[in-house]
Structures are given as structure tokens and as C-alpha cells.
Structure 1
Amino acid sequence: MRTYRCTLLLAVLLTSCVQELDAPPPITHYTLWIHGKDDDTTKVGDYTDFSYWGLSSVAAGVNKKAVNWHGSQKIAVENHRVRDALDCFCTGNNWCYVAAHSAGDLQISYAMSMYGRSMRNKKNARPNTSGVCGDAGGTQTGWNLKWVAVASGASGGSELADMGEWLVTTPLVSDLVTTTARAMYNHNTTQAVWFYNYAASQGTLYSFLLPGQDDDAVSYHSTGGVSGASGSALCNPGDWFCDGTLTLGAEACGNGQAKWSFHSVEFRDDSEAYGHSGNGKWEGIPGRVREDVAKRAY
């Protein structure tokens, strides 16, 4: 009887070991934060430097990572840093939520359109000092993304770039010209990943230069993910002297102008309460996005 019990126990242990070996690796979720135009003050390659956004201790989604790039340079030149982050944390069994601000919208949408169907090496989520992770073995097509939340996205450009209103002219500003930004890549190609846009409208100083509702840097035609070769004057419901209303959701705007595919307006600033900048304190429209990301990225 003792021999039988030992044999039975050994069989159970072996079965348990085989089951553990066959079990897939655990799935880990990350939240990537891609900043916009800046003066190259963030530590490029350091996924813990949230100085652009605010205190790193503030809740901003599961396993949050700051995707830092030289925010004065052209999108195509710096996009490899965004792709490095996507490779690091959004391949293999890892999945990502993405939040982007202003020109960070250009960065993530450029990456998805131009490289979203490319072959990627699966990475180990352990970055070196340059922000590059080691290979984990195997390849895959594109990245594992849940969704993208966009705070005052500039993928449609800004009339301030058109008119040379930014006091400091950097290479990035030429990319933010409305016709250039809109022709840079196919904005409809998101690899079926939804972009949820948050449009702010607390415009003040530059409002007379920006069509429709604006946040003092970018107009609703851009922050709402609205299609077309150039910008249009879109506003909150009931506002006068506009081409039409920026609608919520993915439906066409009040003037019949469609949004890009897989773009939806999640928040429209009807009360004109949110500005463009987060001021390094999680303020403005980046702060409004952070609130939702903290609740939904888990």
C-alpha cells in the first residue's frame, strides 16, 4: 500500500509540473505616456522621467512609462524612440495602453500608420540606459495596443505653425504646419486601434489666429481627429461663426466633415475649462486625460 501511495503521489507531482510547464507566461499591462513639443528637457530613454507631465507618484495607469523623445525635432527623426518603447512593453505577452499629448499624437499615429504592420522582435521589457530592451525570442507583426487616449492631439497640425507664431523655430514646427501634418502619413491607418480624443477649448492669447474652438495652441479640427487636407472652424454646440459642431463619438461633424477612421471624440470641452498645457503639474487637458486613464488602464 505504501508503494502505491508513493507512486500515486509521484504521478500527481509530475502532472502538476507538466501543467506548469504548459501554462502560458503571464500577461502584463503597461501604460505609455508620449509627450508633445518641448525644449528637450526630458531624459530621453528614461522611462521613469515624468517631468513633462507632473509628479511621477500620481496615478496614471498600470505600470506607467514616460516615452521621452527630443521634442524639438522632426517626427520621423525621433519616431524610433517611440517604436523602441512599443517594442519594449507592447510585444510578446505584454499589452499597452497609450496616452499622448499634442505632438505626441503625431508620434504614435505615425508609428502605427508607417510601422504598425512591420515585423517586430519580441522584447523582454527590461530597457537599457538608451531605452532599448533585449530580445525575448520570436517575432510578431506590429504591437499589442488596447487603445490610445489623446490630449489635445496635433496630428492635424496647428495654424500657429502655419503663421510662424511660435517664437522658437525648431525642426518640429515645420511638421506642425497643418498641410504637412495631414499629409505626413495615412491618418486612417491605425491597425484598428481606437484613438479617443480629448478636445480642450480654453483659448485666450492666440484664439484669433486659430479657427473655431481652440485651446490656445491647437484647434478642434486637429484635437477632434477630423479628416481633410486642411483645418476647418469647428466649435461647441450653439457657438456662432463656425463651420459646424465638433461631434462626440466617431460620427461626422456638424458640417458633414468625417473624422479619421478609428478616431472618436471622448471629451469635448463645452465649458471651456481646460487649456492645452499640463504645466508639469498634470493640469489642463493632460490632467483630464490622466483621470480617465487612471481609471481605465489596469
Structure 2
Amino acid sequence: MKQFLSAAAVAVTTLMAAEASATNYTLWIHGKNGSTTKPGNYTDFSYWGPSTTAAGVNKKAVNWNGTQRISVENYRVRDALDCFCTGANWCYIAAHSAGDLQIGYALSLYGGSTRSIKNAVPSSTGVCGNAGGTQVGWNIKWVNVASGASGGSELADHGDWAVSDPLVSDLVTTTARGMYNHNTTRSLWFYNFAGAKGTAYSGVLPGQDDEAVSYHSTGGVSGSSGSSQCNPGDWFCDGTLNTGTSACSNGIAKWSYHSVSLRDDGESYDHHAAGNWAGIVGPVRSDVVTYAK
């Protein structure tokens, strides 16, 4: 059974807060894209796949301009967290690729701030009305991460993405790793799902990869730059990415509150959702369906 090791309920300061029944939501935070989704529209699942597909209780798509820098677009993630994860309501989070940077950035830099309790009724811009009262941080149970890019990608380091999107500069490994304190998760667990079906950029991405991000990032491995981590028995790597919270075989630890739920020993999952809940997003969706209720 999935561990519920999140912090105890966030302290709430009630200032005329209206009584409301508790509702759970599942927020899906996408990664780098061509800005084809509609920012602020919580029903647009075009990045992920058919909106009719089961993907957790009361699923919401947290859309942002996936070409822009994390700091510029993070307000959209905070708007969603305010909308659905305050007051009596609680959230499960699922993030893909640079969506990992978005939720990590929000929690580390804003997770200890005072938030207005919202009514979970969003406007056309994705902002919800005030329900009355405030609280510190958000009500989140846990975070599932599909091929997380919070450690950056060497494709950004070497210019292999032939685009000039501002987000690419954030995905440089040293930049992504220095953007915020990755150990500060507000005691929320990040469950990492790391894909290894990578071939196209094997000469650029160190260790095991999913064609876009290497294990050092998708496995939540700490450090100021990326290391070469692999599956058991693979040669020419710095170490083996161990499952759970254990350090890699060469002694490099994971960030605090990060645990590898899936290491792709069979090299079955690539990076891409492909508009059909595909790749490494698939097992994350299955896990969310099972546990996000």
C-alpha cells in the first residue's frame, strides 16, 4: 500500500471560513510543450490523453505555458493549489517532466506562505474565489512524478533541443538543481517513476535515460550536477539507481522525501505521453487510479 507520509494537516487560521464538505482532487501538472494547452483551463487534458480516461479522483489539468521559465509560469500552479488544495479540500499531485520543477518550486519557495482559502470554483483564468479564512501552505497528500526533470537534462546543457524557448535555459542541469532547495518539500513525499527506453540521445544523456531525461533527474538523485546512474548490472555508469529512498550504489543520496517507485529495469517506458497517457506517464496514471481516491 502506498505510504501516506505527508505532513499532518496544515494549520488553518479560520477567519469566517464557511463550512464545507471535504473534497479530494487530483492535479496533473504537465511539462515542456509548445503552449498548445489552455493555461488556466482545468479541463484541457490534451497534453496527457483522452479526458475520459480514469486518472484519479476529480482530476484537474494544471495547464501553463510550457515554453516559458518556471518562475514566470509558476503562479498558475499556485493558483491551482489555492483553488483545490485549501480549506477542507485535499489534493494528490501528478507531474511530468518539467512539471516536477513546477511543483518542487512551488512547495520549496511558497509552501510555507499564508494562502487564502478558496471555493474551488475557478474563473476563466483559473483563479478561484475566496471562501473566507487563511492557512499556511496547501493540503497535499503526496506527489507522483513521471520522468521528473527537477535535476535538469543534458539536452539543455548541450543545446540538443533546437528551440529557443526560455524554459530550455531552466532545464540546464546546474540551473535546475540550483533553482530552489530540492530537499524542502514541506515533508511531502515525491514518488519517482524513472523510464529507461532511451536510444536517440544515448551519447549525450549519462547513464540510463528515456530519450529526454536521465536517471539522475528522474530518480531524484541529489547533487549540483548530474551523475551517471543505471539499472543493476549495467556497465560504464557511476552507480546503480536504487529503488525506494536508498542512496545510489556509489553513495550519492536522493533528495529528502524522494523515493523511487519504479525503476525501468526492462527499458519499457520512454518519456513521451504522446497524447495517449503513454510512456512513463502510463504507470503513474495506473498508480494514481489505485491510490488517489
**Matched position secondary structure for 2:182:** coil
Q: For 1:192-232, what per-residue CA distance to the aligned partner results, in whole angstroms no more than 9, with x for missing partners?
A: 00000000000011111100000000000000000000000
CA distance in 2, matches of 1:218, 1:279: 16
**How many pairs does the alignment contain?**
276
Question: 2:89: which partner in 1?
Answer: 94
Q: Deviations over 1:95-129 (max 9, x none)?
A: 00000000000000000000000000000000000
CA distance in 1, matches of 2:22, 2:49: 28
TM-score normalised over the length of structure 1: 0.92
The answer to whether structure 1 residue 153 and structure 2 residue 170 are counterparts is: no
Unmatched 5+ residue regions in structure 1?
A: 1-22
- The alignment's C-alpha RMSD in Å is 0.9
Flag structure 2 segments of 5+ consecutive residues without an equivalent. 1-17
For residue 239 of structure 1, what is the aligned residue in structure 2?
234
Q: Per-residue displacement from partner, 1:21-58 (whole Å, max 9, x unpaired)?
A: xx963211000000000000001111000000000000
**Structure with greater helix share of residues:** 1
CA distance, structure 2, for counterparts of residue 26 and residue 41 of structure 1: 35
Matched, 1:185 2:200: no
Return the index of the structure with the highest Cα Rg. 1
2:100 maps to a residue whose letter is D
Map 1:1-298 → 2, pairs under 5 A? 25-298=20-293
TM-score, reference length from structure 2 = 0.93
Percent sequence identity over aligned pairs: 71
Secondary structure of 2:174 counterpart? helix
Q: How far does residue 287 in structure 1 lie from its aligned partner after superposition?
A: 1.3
* 1:50-79 alpha-carbon deviations (Å, 9 max, x no partner): 000000000000000000000000000000
Counterpart-to-counterpart distance in 2, 1:54 and 1:149:
17
Tell me the distance in 2 between the aligned counterparts of 1:183 and 1:72. 20
- Give me the whole-angstrom Cα distance separating, in 2, the residues matched to 1:208 and 1:287: 26
Shift of 1:296: 0.6
Aligned equivalents of 1:149, 1:287: Cα separation in 2 = 12
Indicate the structure whose relative CO is greater, using CA pairs within 8 Å and at least 6 residues apart. Answer: 2
Could you tell me which amino acid in structure 2 is paired with residue 123 of structure 1?
Answer: K
